[in-house]
Structure 1
Amino acid sequence: MKRRVDLSEISDGRLYSANDMVKADCHGCEGCFACCCGMGTSVVLDPLDIHRMTQGLHIGFEELLKTGIELNVVDGLVLPNLKMTGEKEQCAYLNEQGRCTIHRFRPGICRLFPLGRYYEENGFHYFLQIHECRKETRGKIKVKKWMEIENLRAYEAYIFRWHRFCLACEKAVETLEEENIRILTLYILKTFYQTPYEQTGEESSSKEERFYREFYKRLEETGRKLGLRV
């Protein structure tokens, strides 16, 4: 999801890389789950998020739709997002104590918060959102440690490719008629989200390495079929 805002109004004015220290450590969010409430449809999920959730919860995509996610239009594409529920409009995966029940395999946007991504021509940097987190006593921590993602470099490359692909699809949607838009969006949803990612392969490969290989294969095939530069 793109935000059309002035970066100087929402950040501390700095751009960060994975090895930089940033004041983002919320110390386990003790006694606070404000960022898990009232988020509407903004916690958009990428294919790896869904893969991790289906693997972690041992359920399929359709079952996720019945429990903790929903589909909405994002920049012209139909994409899944975390569902907010109840009077507090809180994440469906919060328990009664306000703690995350999927923290071990939480989505990328949740790992990122209170950071954001600033996309550039050949990649992206991180920035600190200064108005989003209610914790006033955040500590400094390296970006890569805060993210808690194995092989962050591979993850960042994947995120950037997915971002570029979504931009290409968004431009394509602008030129299509309604029926063809429906066909395109359903194809993307089925190819990258609904169809499980193969988990067999070399024993030396991690689950996420196997995911990346399958993802890039699907990305290239989709680019050829749709005539997109991905």
Structure 2
Amino acid sequence: MIGFVVEAECMFYQDKPIHFECTACGKCCTGNAETHYIALTPTEAAKLRKHLEVSEAWFRRRYVEHLTRDSWGIRMHNGQCAFLDKHGRCGIYALRPTQCRTYPFWPELMDDEAHWQAEKKYCEGINRGQVVDIKVIERKLKQQAAAEEHA
């Protein structure tokens, strides 16, 4: 985490107010299944499986894909997260993975204003709404960095 703290010191959001308001459009839950994935830890998977009340075998077959030998992701169906409902809403919102909870406050989007601005084409909530408290941004950055470190 020491490396993260050093990196965070030079991120653009510290000098400029960041506006963000989720519009619940579901676009962040969609994408090309070959290039987009939703990381899922074993702990997150266990909570989801329990919530869905399905067997481990059924959960893995229906909802999980192996990204590498040791990392999992939520299976994409026709370019959409398997947990999006027919209205494009998250069916597991209260239990969504860290990657979803921290979006769009990911290190690779917050390290440079150009990256943040480029993400607008995927997220209509960027530059909308109230200013996000810097403490909220930094907490989400730390959560995402920790998740990536343990992936």
TM-score (norm 1): 0.45
Q: What residue number does 1:129 align with?
A: 116
Question: SS at 1:51's partner residue?
Answer: helix
Tell me, yes or no, if structure 1 residue 79 matches structure 2 residue 74: no
Q: What residue number does 2:51 align with?
A: 56
User: Unpaired segments of 5 or more residues in structure 1?
Assistant: 1-6, 8-12, 119-125, 147-151, 167-230
Distance in 2 between residues matched to 1:58 and 1:144, nearest whole Å? 36
Question: How far off its partner does 1:69 sit?
Answer: 1.8
CA contact (8 A) 2:102 2:144 kept: no
Greater relative contact order structure (CA < 8 Å, 6+ sep) = 2
Question: SS at 1:81's partner residue?
Answer: strand
Instruction: Point out the structure with max Rg over C-alpha.
Output: 1
User: Unpaired segments of 5 or more residues in structure 2?
Assistant: 1-6
Question: SS at 1:138's partner residue?
Answer: strand
Equivalences for residues 60-209 of structure 1 within 5 A: 60-73=55-68, 77-86=69-78, 89-117=79-107, 129-132=116-119, 133-135=122-124, 138-139=128-129, 140-142=131-133, 156=142, 160=146, 163-164=148-149, 166=151
Q: CA separation of 1:61/1:25 partners in 2, compared to 1, >3 Å: closer, same or farther?
A: farther
Question: How far off its partner does 1:91 sit?
Answer: 1.0
CA contact (8 A) 2:106 2:144 kept: no
1:47 aligned residue (42, 45, 50) = 42
Distance in 2 between residues matched to 1:110 and 1:14, nearest whole Å? 22
Question: How far off its partner does 1:34 sit?
Answer: 1.6
- Residue correspondences, number: 131
Distance in 2 between residues matched to 1:53 and 1:108, nearest whole Å? 13
Question: SS at 2:88's partner residue?
Answer: coil
